[in-house]
């Protein structure tokens, strides 16, 4: 595969690097003021604040190769944090299926980072089997609002979110993929209870959310009633591609190798040990092979294609690779990786090593568990069906 960049692409890469360098945070500067200022300057560049949005909605209109360059450079640079729920997940749904009033109502605040969103998909009995969801939305007799009852689980940042985009069941008379409706509603209202879930690593990012007689105006429904599964599938394909995190893994792998070289072993260092070096080599080969799959996906996008089953391959392999990086970080840290809390012991990179490893366990669960991704690959790529053998 020819992955050489054109002169135009190289010029674009240099422009991106210059922008990052010129606008990096200065010593003593307030982070949140810098963050908002950074996005304002990125917007003035012509949609760089919303790189994945189409030109019609204010995005930059980049080629797939330019998007790839952006991902590579942002993985290396110190840029402001950005939550994916509004910008990368809900926004495409609004653009493709929302009406003009909904687009004008919600997209500006999403772009300005003024509203935090969370995703109401998984439920206690409907995680990987998402179509089995039970949260009900009943339309009022006058057709003006829905009443929502049920629960969601593993809802990331629900405790700080202003709004939620939520899959609800409005009809259970047909197959389970039918009768699902996509609703938007505020989190700070009567009838919504958020309970924290503390993960193995000791952090609070996910929650259980309970809905009791929550009223949702019908104008907050995206698209048609009962068509929410169609909208959700498109969102998940884009989400899974992003969850692979290959650009960041490439940077983290280089950092891991540098850290391993700082660990003394006899007259050499950890990277001189054949067993550890072999594990790093296997990981690097898998990562580069997965990156080539991403490049093939980019080539398809350049020809006008949409994310397909390759998004499941990328999510499956990309999250496994991230777990392996965490595991090898713990191995490099040795006994120091078990240090917990604010006080680190041993090399700086070892601090929180175990917490990072434990948290990485959910990488292969969120966004569709690995077992689900393997089913998709088996059906869509290998052409296998139930009862078939090859």
Active site residues: 239
Identify the bridge partners of residue 136 per DSSP, sorted by sequence position: 149, 169
| Distance of alpha carbon 309 from alpha carbon 240, whole angstroms | 10
Written as one string, the DSSP assignment of 275-330 is: HHHHHHHHHHHHHHHHHHHHHHHHHHHHTT----THHHHHHHHHHHHHHHHHHHHH
Three-state DSSP class for residue 193: strand
In this structure, are residues 286 and 325 in contact, taking their beta carbons and an 8 Å threshold? no
| Distance of alpha carbon 40 from alpha carbon 37, whole angstroms | 5
Q: How far is CA 166 from the centre of its chain?
A: 17
| Distance of alpha carbon 309 from alpha carbon 95, whole angstroms | 22
In this structure, are residues 110 and 57 in contact, taking their beta carbons and an 8 Å threshold? no
Residue 18 contacts by C-beta under 8 Å, 6 or more apart in sequence?
Answer: none
Helices (H) and strands (E) in the chain, counts: 12, 10
Backbone angles phi, psi at 138, to 5 degrees: -110, 125
What is the H or E stretch that residue 73 is in? helix 64-76
Structure tokens at 173: 């008379």
């Amino acid at each position: 595969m020819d992955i050489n960049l054109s002169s135009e692409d190289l010029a674009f890469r240099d422009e991106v690097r210059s922008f990052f360098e010129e606008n990096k945070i200065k010593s003593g500067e307030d982070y949140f003021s810098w963050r908002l200022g950074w996005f304002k300057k990125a917007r003035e560049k012509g949609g760089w604040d919303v790189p994945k949005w189409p030109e019609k909605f204010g995005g930059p209109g980049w080629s797939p190769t330019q998007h790839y360059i952006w991902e590579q450079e942002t993985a290396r640079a110190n840029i402001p944090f950005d939550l994916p729920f509004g910008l990368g997940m809900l926004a495409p749904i609004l653009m493709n299926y929302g009406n003009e009033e909904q687009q004008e109502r919600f997209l500006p605040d999403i772009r300005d980072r003024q509203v935090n969103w969370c995703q109401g998909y998984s439920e206690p009995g409907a995680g990987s089997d998402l179509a089995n969801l039970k949260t009900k939305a009943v339309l009022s007799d006058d057709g003006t609002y829905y009443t929502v009852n049920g629960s969601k689980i593993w809802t990331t940042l629900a405790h700080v979110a202003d709004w939620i985009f939520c899959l609800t069941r409005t009809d259970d008379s047909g197959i389970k993929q039918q009768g699902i409706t996509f609703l938007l509603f505020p989190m700070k209202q009567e009838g919504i209870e958020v309970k924290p879930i503390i993960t193995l690593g000791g952090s609070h990012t996910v929650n259980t959310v309970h809905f009791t007689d929550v009223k949702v105006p019908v104008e907050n429904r995206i698209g048609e009633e009962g068509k929410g599964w169609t909208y959700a599938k498109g969102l998940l394909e884009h989400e899974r591609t992003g969850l692979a995190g290959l650009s960041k893994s490439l940077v983290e792998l280089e950092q891991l190798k540098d850290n391993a070289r700082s660990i003394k072993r006899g007259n050499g260092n950890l990277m001189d040990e054949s067993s550890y070096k072999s594990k790093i080599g296997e990981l690097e080969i898998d990562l580069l092979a997965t990156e080539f799959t991403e490049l093939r996906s980019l080539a398809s996008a350049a020809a006008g294609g949409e994310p397909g089953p390759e998004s499941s391959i990328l999510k499956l392999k990309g999250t496994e690779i991230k777990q392996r990086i965490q595991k090898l970080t713990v191995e490099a840290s040795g006994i120091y990786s078990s240090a917990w809390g604010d006080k680190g012991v041993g090399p700086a990179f070892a601090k929180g090593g175990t917490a990072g490893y434990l948290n990485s366990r959910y990488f292969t669960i969120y966004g569709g568990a690995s077992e689900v991704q393997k089913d998709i690959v088996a059906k869509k790529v290998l052409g296998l069906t139930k009862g078939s053998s090859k």
